[in-house]
């Protein structure tokens, strides 16, 4: 195609709560505020180095725009997978050696039609054919990688414009790697992305691989996003280490109180841990995991805008839905998870609308 500059990616960004411009003029987006990033890497974190890695991943961030281009190219650099992501990819390939790359990347949808995930070429461009007819108005979204970070420059095309779409209210997802998108193989096909789409909402995805209830990590997020719905998904990572039920109760209570103070009138779904197997990673004998669902329910019950969803109901008890053979939904699991959660999300939104009327 004969491509020319249509826009800079920074002007089309959604789902990022902060960003910086690098020395080459490229935008480096972040789905957390700077204060949140400091908390994730601070003394109170269980695994600060891992959380800093995960905070740099661009899960849920996307470019959204309208264009008349039939062919598009994006100046993009995809970072190397951090060690936390690479170890999960290794687990996935060990359990399912037939999975083929890309394991993450940039994913485009045009007027709701998904074109799949791909990585930048040797020329530093991610290219897509958006349609066969030049000059036709198209609504485009480019989903950024969920297992690593990236840098974006110009948006190029063979049309005449790329206009940002109007902002919408968001689905805010707070959670661990299951929320971040491990391992969907396509950032557009994570359960948070699918759920947001089905509800007609934008998305801010603050899933952090390895995370637990961390008091303080909400920080100043309320100043940067006003969600229509919040989903909280933690608990799986208590399986892998020694922990005390009293500490989980304390942290879950403190964390959900922070969420409540940040968004007191926003309906909030709090998920208990979802289906897992014990085959590859048995629960640590000194873990308090057996108490996590109860602690989560009791902490959420303190807040009238919060509803608890039984996480075990969100996935069939079938290892074929877990691409790593342990905890993480594959593409079929992401769809199953979202489809089961959607009814609870719709009910929460409808009840909130009725109460406001």
- Domains in the chain with CATH codes: 4-164 (2.60.120.260), 170-356 (3.40.50.1110)
pLDDT tens-digit series, residues 13-36:
999 999 999 999 999 999 999 999
Strand ordering across the sheet containing 229-233? 202-207, 170-175, 229-233, 268-271, 306-309
Average pLDDT over residues 258-262: 99
Q: Return the SS3 of 128.
A: strand
From the DSSP assignment, how many helices (H) and strands (E) are in the chain? 8, 17
- pTM flag (> 0.85): yes
Return the closest-CA partner of residue 340 out of 327, 319, 324, 321. Answer: 321
Rounded CA gap, 317 and 320, in Å?
9
Residues 6+ apart with CB under 8 A from 56: 30, 79, 82, 148, 149
Residues 6+ apart with CB under 8 A from 18: 29, 30, 32, 33, 34, 224
Average pLDDT over residues 160-182: 96
- pLDDT at 168 > cutoff 90: no
Contacts 24+ apart (CB under 8 A), 37-42: 38/219, 39/214, 39/216, 39/217, 39/219, 40/208, 40/214, 40/217, 42/216
Confidence grade of residue 355 (pLDDT, cut at 50, 70, 90): low
Rounded CA gap, 180 and 15, in Å?
13
């Amino acid at each position: 195609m004969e491509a020319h500059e249509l826009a800079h990616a920074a002007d089309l960004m959604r789902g990022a709560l902060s960003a910086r411009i690098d020395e080459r003029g490229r935008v480096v987006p972040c789905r957390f505020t700077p204060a949140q990033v400091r908390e994730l890497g601070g003394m109170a974190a269980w695994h600060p180095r891992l959380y800093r890695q995960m905070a740099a991943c661009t899960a849920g961030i996307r470019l959204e725009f309208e264009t008349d281009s039939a062919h598009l190219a994006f100046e993009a650099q995809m970072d190397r997978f951090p060690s936390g992501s690479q170890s999960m990819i290794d687990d996935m390939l060990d359990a399912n050696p037939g999975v083929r790359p890309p394991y993450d990347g940039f994913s485009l949808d045009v007027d709701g039609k998904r074109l799949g995930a791909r990585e930048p070429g040797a020329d530093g461009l991610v290219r897509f054919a958006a349609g066969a007819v030049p000059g036709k108005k198209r609504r485009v979204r480019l989903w950024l990688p969920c297992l690593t970070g990236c840098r974006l420059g110009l948006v190029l095309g063979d049309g005449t414009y790329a206009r940002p779409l109007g902002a919408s209210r968001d689905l805010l997802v707070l959670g661990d790697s299951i929320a971040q998108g491990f391992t969907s193989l396509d950032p557009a096909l994570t359960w948070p992305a699918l759920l947001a789409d089905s509800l007609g909402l934008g998305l801010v995805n603050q899933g952090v691989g390895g995370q637990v209830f961390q008091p303080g990590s909400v920080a100043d997020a309320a100043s940067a996003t006003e969600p229509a719905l919040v989903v909280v998904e933690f608990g799986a990572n208590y399986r892998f280490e020694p922990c005390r039920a009293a500490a989980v109760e304390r942290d879950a209570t403190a964390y959900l109180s922070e969420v409540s103070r940040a968004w007191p009138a926003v309906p909030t779904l709090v998920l208990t841990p979802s289906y897992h197997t014990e085959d590859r990673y048995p629960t640590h004998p000194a873990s308090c995991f057996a108490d996590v669902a109860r602690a989560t329910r009791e902490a959420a019950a303190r807040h009238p805008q919060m509803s608890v969803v039984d996480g075990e109901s969100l996935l069939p008890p079938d290892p074929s839905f877990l691409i790593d053979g342990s905890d993480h939904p594959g593409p079929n699991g992401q769809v199953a998870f979202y489809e089961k959660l959607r009814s609870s999300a719709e009910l929460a939104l409808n009840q909130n609308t009725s109460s406001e009327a």
